[in-house]
Amino acid sequence: MNAKVVRRLRRGSKIASFALFMFLFVQAVYLGQSTLTSDLFYRFDPLIAATAMIAGRAIIAGLLYSLINLLASVIFGRVWCGWLCPMGTMLDWFSPRKLPPKKQVSEKWRTVKYLLFVVLIFGAVLGSQSLVIADPISILTRTMTTVLWPGLRFMVFEVESFLYNFDLLWPGLDVFNAKILLPLFQGIESVFIAALPIFLFFAAIVGLNWITERFWCRYFCPLGGMLGLFSRSSIFRREVGDACTSCELCAPNCPTGTIDKENNFVSDPAECIYCYDCAAENACGCAPPRDCSLVC
Amino acid sequence: MSEKENFNRREFLRTISIAGAGLYLTGCTQKQTQALPTPISDVATLNPNEENQNAAGGTYSEAEKPVFGDVYLSAVRGENPKEMTRRAVAAVGGIEKYISNGMDVIIKPNICTDYYSFEYGATTNPEVIAVLISLSLGAGAKRVRVMDNPFGGTAQSAYRKSGIEEAVIRAGGEMEVMNSNKFRPNEIPDGIDIKEWIFYQDILDADVVINVPIAKHHSTTGLTLGCKNLMGTILNRGQIHANIDQRIADLTSRVRPALTVIDGIRTLMHNGPTGGNLNDVKMSNTIIASADIVAADSYAATLFGKSGADIGYIRSATAMGLGIMDLNSIKIEELSI
């Protein structure tokens, strides 16, 4: 498959997934009026499923959708991270375009996410799900609810208030208010006491992007760690073929920084998020790759 | 401008527009019903609803034909709220006396909380409002909006819970959530205690305001009827409670609804204005209509075994010359259907 096509598909997938996340989020306010269940993303999250079932000592049927995610990881690697995770999408959007010269972060940091995953499971074995606050779906939902959506609402309504000073605009503003603002934001002005610490936690994760791209996904995300473990022997993987001319253009393009310059530009399948950035036009200098396993 | 930066800006704009379109579509899916009858009509009496046909001598039999009277106040007793409302309005001159072609009409019911449905006698009967909408549109109103500013729950949930939103949309009206941005300070030239307050500008600017309160007990003023219902048109309601009787009269002097139709189908006899106990609700099965808000309130007080003079704000309003409290001095038509 053409790398250009795949990259476009990926962009579409990220947007669609995030749009779905936001749709479910807004629908949740209506409680029961939505056709799709609001906790859909949680149901596909194997970390949530594992900790919930272990801590609860029960099989929870609704969470078994996450097996699909694990299956996808076994086949394709960490596609969830690269194509579907709404937190990953947010991190891609809130990322500096021109990074300062790459600070070298030791590869040893990658084990932190595996460690965190083990600690979460251990906590679950002991009956506690408290550490699931580190799960990316949990982080994004919590932050969206208490910080981002109310913040957006505040800004939009402030602009609306300003515009309402002009009587001529009232008919148009009334329509905008009734058709768009009220359905999305309801008449509720939410101010959450814990909004500040929740925001700081999220901002810290986003801020890490300024050290290196997708810092959270590479080094800290426990879900990434779990999926990474399942991706170690993925069926589809990036492999470097004989055509490689060592042009060194792929390595700096990799968002998870897993392409090893010292080791013939191979990548760790547990870290690769299948983004195809390495095969982009301005990246790989070789002849275009011919099949899904991205032979370079 | 490097090529990469241009590309990113394009990507950003594309993402934002897709996200914006997605949000808009989400907003669109919140429509309550699919095909809504459009109330906007340039031609008078083009609205093909029941009321209009009947007014033109359509489907009523001779015996049923509504009598268009010209009394000061009408009180209709019966079992059918819709029919009672039609008769009550007809008896005080018919809707055309108050509404003419192209008018912007606002109906102000009582939707005080989102706690209970209308059977609890705390919010206005949806059928009464629906009939008033049909009548108004039949008379050629450009649009009919229904609104209130609840003190319990959000406007949207209160509109739904009371059953009023559904009835309004079916009748061809619009529910409007009272946007805080549309409240403006306005002078009360005839005010005795207060000379200025913050009112919902659209209500003051509307061509016709039809006041449709529900008659119920009130812990502070004794009863809440027509004048008290106008408290839904203002902000800073806490401050109104100081010297409340005179201040309600002052508010009434500024809003001056053209027509007051009091819903006395279910009267909340105790624990108003919120209610919550069906045992407190009495089926009084009465609809009162009058252009005089004070007279309507005075008559409604009799449903509770009181007289207008027993209620502080009715006395204050009478003293200001806003209406007639003495029921013996006005022409009243009492109907039983």
pLDDT digits (tens, 9 = 90+) for A112-126: 999 999 999 999 999
Minimal C-alpha gap between A117 and chain B (Å) = 33
Task: Choose among A226, A54, A58, A60: nearest CA to A125.
Answer: A54
The tokens for B122 are: 């705390």
Residue B233 reports pLDDT greater than 50: yes
Residue B25 reports pLDDT greater than 90: no
Q: Encode pLDDT of A132-183 as tens digits.
A: 999 999 999 999 999 999 999 999 999 999 999 999 999 999 999 999 998 8
The tokens for A176 are: 């905008």
The tokens for A194 are: 């814990």
Q: Encode pLDDT of A232-273 as tens digits.
A: 988 888 888 777 778 888 888 889 988 888 888 888 989 999
Q: Residue A15: which of B8, B18, B24 has the nearest Cβ?
A: B18
Minimal C-alpha gap between B28 and chain A (Å) = 7
Task: Choose among A85, A84, A47, A107: nearest CA to A267.
Answer: A107
In chain A, residues with a C-beta closer than 8 Å to the C-beta of B5 are: 97
Q: Residue A180: which of B24, B154, B176 has the nearest Cβ?
A: B24
B121: left (phi over 0), alpha (psi -120 to 50) or beta: left
- Residue in chain A nearest B17 by alpha carbon: A15
- Residue in chain A nearest B21 by alpha carbon: A19
ipTM at complex level: 0.72
Give the residue from A4, A11, A156, A170 with the most B CB atoms within 10 Å of its CB, the best one to mutate.
Answer: A170
- Residue in chain A nearest B26 by alpha carbon: A23
- In terms of DSSP bridges, do strands B332-336 and B281-290 run parallel, antiparallel, or are they unpaired? unpaired
User: Would you list which residues of chain A are within 8 Å, Cβ to Cβ, of chain B?
Assistant: 11, 15, 18-19, 22-23, 26-27, 30, 93, 97, 160-161, 164, 170, 173-174, 177-180, 182-184, 186-188
CA distance B334 to B325: 17
Subunit contact B27:A186, Cβ cutoff 8 A: no
pLDDT at A250: 83
The model's confidence at residue A4, banded by pLDDT at 50, 70 and 90, is: confident
The model's confidence at residue B34, banded by pLDDT at 50, 70 and 90, is: very low
Q: Give the number of beta-carbon pairs within 8 Å between A and B.
A: 56
What is the dihedral angle through the alpha carbons of B256, B262, B267, B269, rounded to the nearest 10 degrees?
30
pLDDT at B39: 46
CA distance B307 to B321: 18
pLDDT at B212: 98
- Residues contacting A115, CB < 8 A, separation 6+: A225
Subunit contact B22:A22, Cβ cutoff 8 A: yes
Give the residue from B4, B9, B10, B30 with the most A CB atoms within 10 Å of its CB, the best one to mutate.
Answer: B30
* Mean pLDDT, all residues of chain A: 89
In chain A, residues with a C-beta closer than 8 Å to the C-beta of B182 are: 164, 170
Subunit contact B19:A22, Cβ cutoff 8 A: yes
Minimal C-alpha gap between B182 and chain A (Å) = 7
Minimal C-alpha gap between B307 and chain A (Å) = 39
In chain B, residues with a C-beta closer than 8 Å to the C-beta of A30 are: 30
CA distance A257 to A279: 14
